[in-house]
Chains A and B, each alone.
Chain A
Amino acid sequence: MNSTRACRTSIRRKRYSLALIIALTSAWVNAWATNTDHFRLRAHQLSIQRYNQEDVKTEIRFGREVSARILAALPLFESERLTRYINLVGKSLVLHSNRSEIEFHFAIVDSDSVAAYSAPGGFVFITRGMLHTLHNEAELAAVLAHEIAHVNLRHIVRELDIKSVEKEEFSGLTRFLGASGDTTRVAFNQAVDKAYQVLFKNGYKKGQELEADAQAVTLLALTGYNPNALATLLQRLAKNQDQHNISGTTHPRFARRTKELDLILQSFQQTSALNQAQQRFLQYTSGDKP
């Protein structure tokens, strides 16, 4: 009789210990709610993933070529006052953006279409037609912020793998295996063509557009503009698109974009800066309204 009771106690003790182990293990496993593999990356991998100064120079050179192509199709709208204004707005946004190493340039192009473009290296273009549709400075900032975001997020650079040539001694093998001389020149020109296609024909990937929207809204709030301006503008553009045939062909459906923006803006709660600077906008644009 005694042995059975002892046996039962021993089993009970084992069950409790097992329960304790399971409880502790699950508590311990849940100590970190999310898990990324980022911790596995070693120092050399992180530094390789980073873009260095040579890469940025290459990006700027590439961006200049793409910009020259854009300007060939859409020449500059010559208004010193307006150009200066959009540069002031744009550069205010750039002050608060993570890629502070490049100098952004903003320009107005002479076209009735309602559009904005950006090239790698910090070249941002906005059409006359787009300026027409804007109601206040916050909306202008919204458009510029979206284009700045495309550059910050290196969408075209990543897509086309724009990087500088390795200068290391024992990468001779790399050069041998890779492109050099005429082939690089051809590849470069083809890359410029491809960038032009992204901007004027195929558009960015849908995910990239949404990503740019998300960063644009943060950029607006950081700079002190009303982050809702982007959503408001998109809604209006969507309505206009139904009425006129506006070049919304390269963008994902406005509905999807505004839906995503609403989600993001909800997490912003109330921002203290609801600036739209409408007065200043009208001041600058009424003078020589195109």
Chain B
Amino acid sequence: MRLTSLSLLLVIMTLGGYSSSLFAQTGYIQSKLAPVFDKPSFAGKKIASLNRGQQVEIVAREKSWVNIRFEQQSGWVAKMLLDNHAPLASTQVEPGKTENTPTKARKRASVRASAAATRGFSSEFRQRSKEPRSANYRDLEKLEQLKIEDTEVREFNQSLSN
């Protein structure tokens, strides 16, 4: 009697084991462009291109591909481009500011500073600071000033397949 009930319990659990999880999973596209293929391979046909922040339903996973459902369609997208939370907003920092704003190199900064001292890192640091420890902000700003429109980049990428 006990064995029968135990086996019945196991049958139920086995069936439960093969069913999909209780709650459906949502994913968010992280990249500006996310090509979706009809099978989990780059050899597949590209059936759609999703945009950043788009919410999709995760159906299955296979190696580095995820089977998703979106807008009544389904396909495979690279795992790398999907995450379970919305992507961060575009982040920028005003250039032209020399740095001494406090950053936390976690709470262990003081430990690291002293540890580095005992390891002799700071002696090396001291040595290198004998040469001018220079920073080239002028070139940095020049580099940052180059702006290219998103549309131009997309066109450039598109013309690859031509």
A–B touching in complex (CB under 8 Å):
yes
Using CB atoms and an 8 Å cutoff, list the residues of chain A in contact with chain B.
Answer: 14, 17-18, 20-21, 24-25, 27-28, 31-32, 46-47, 50-53, 56-58, 60-62, 64-65, 67-69, 71-72, 75-76, 83-84, 87-89, 91-92, 94-103, 105, 107, 121, 123, 160-166, 174, 177-181, 183-188, 190-191, 193, 215, 218, 221-225, 227, 267-273, 275, 277
What does DSSP make chain A's interface, helix, strand, loop or mixed?
helix
Whether B143 sits at the interface, judged by CB under 8 Å, is yes
**With A64-B93, A103-B92 known to touch, is A75 a contact of B139 (CB < 8 Å)?**
yes
Q: Which of B88, B89, B152, B160 contacts A224 (CB 8 A)?
A: B160
Query: In the bound complex, how far is the Cα of B34 from the Cα of A60, in angstroms?
Result: 25
Q: Which residue of B lies closest to A188 (CB)?
A: B103
Interface residues of B in 32-46 (CB under 8 A from A): 32-35, 41-46
Contacts A184-B103, A190-B116 known; 8 new A-B pairs at CB < 8 A: A56-B88, A76-B142, A88-B156, A98-B31, A161-B106, A179-B110, A271-B42, A277-B160
The interface bits of chain B over 63-81 (1 if a CB of A lies within 8 angstroms of the residue's CB, else 0) are 1100000000000001011
Q: Which residues of B contact A88 (CB under 8 A)?
A: 148, 152-153, 156
Listed by A's residue number, 18 A-B pairs whose Cβ atoms lie within 8 Å are A50-B85, A61-B93, A68-B137, A72-B134, A92-B153, A95-B154, A98-B83, A100-B31, A121-B93, A161-B105, A163-B104, A187-B109, A190-B121, A191-B105, A193-B128, A222-B35, A223-B160, A272-B46
Q: Is the CB of B32 within 8 A of A95?
A: yes
Q: Which of A21, A47, A68, A83 contacts B10 (CB 8 A)?
A: A21
Query: In the bound complex, how far is the Cα of B93 from the Cα of A164, in angstroms?
Result: 14
Q: Which residues of A contact B110 (CB under 8 A)?
A: 178-179, 183, 187
Query: In the bound complex, how far is the Cα of B28 from the Cα of A139, in angstroms?
Result: 30
Query: In the bound complex, how far is the Cα of B81 from the Cα of A162, in angstroms?
Result: 23
Q: Which residues of B contact A84 (CB under 8 A)?
A: 146, 148
Q: Which residues of B contact A177 (CB under 8 A)?
A: 107
Q: Which residues of B contact A64 (CB under 8 A)?
A: 93, 95, 99, 140
Q: Which residues of A contact B31 (CB under 8 A)?
A: 95-98, 100
Using CB atoms and an 8 Å cutoff, list the residues of chain B in contact with chain A.
Answer: 3-4, 6-7, 10-11, 13-14, 17-18, 30-35, 41-46, 52, 63-64, 78, 80-81, 83-85, 87-93, 95, 99-110, 112-113, 116, 121-122, 125, 128, 133-137, 139-140, 142-144, 146, 148, 152-154, 156-157, 160-161
Q: Which residues of B contact A267 (CB under 8 A)?
A: 63
Query: In the bound complex, how far is the Cα of B160 from the Cα of A221, in angstroms?
Result: 12
Q: Is the CB of B91 within 8 A of A53?
A: yes
Q: Is the CB of A166 within 8 A of B104?
A: yes
Q: Is the CB of B87 within 8 A of A100?
A: yes
**With A68-B137, A95-B32 known to touch, is A60 a contact of B109 (CB < 8 Å)?**
no
Q: Is the CB of A273 within 8 A of B161?
A: yes
Query: Nearest Cβ in chain B — how far from A136, in angstroms?
Result: 12
Query: Nearest Cβ in chain B — how far from A49, in angstroms?
Result: 11
Q: Is the CB of A162 within 8 A of B105?
A: yes
Q: Which of A21, A184, A221 contacts B109 (CB 8 A)?
A: A184
Q: Which of B43, B91, B101, B153 contacts A272 (CB 8 A)?
A: B43
**With A31-B17, A97-B31, A187-B113 known to touch, is A178 a contact of B108 (CB < 8 Å)?**
yes
Q: Which residue of A lies closest to B137 (CB)?
A: A68
Q: Is the CB of A174 within 8 A of B107?
A: yes
Q: Which residues of A contact B144 (CB under 8 A)?
A: 105
Query: In the bound complex, how far is the Cα of B81 from the Cα of A272, in angstroms?
Result: 20
Q: Which residues of B contact A25 (CB under 8 A)?
A: 10
Q: Which residues of A contact B84 (CB under 8 A)?
A: 46
Query: In the bound complex, how far is the Cα of B106 from the Cα of A185, in angstroms?
Result: 13
Q: Which residues of B contact A94 (CB under 8 A)?
A: 32
**With A64-B140, A98-B30 known to touch, is A69 a contact of B135 (CB < 8 Å)?**
yes
**With A25-B10, A185-B100 known to touch, is A179 a contact of B32 (CB < 8 Å)?**
no
Query: Nearest Cβ in chain B — how far from A257, in angstroms?
Result: 19
Q: Which residues of B contact A164 (CB under 8 A)?
A: 103-104
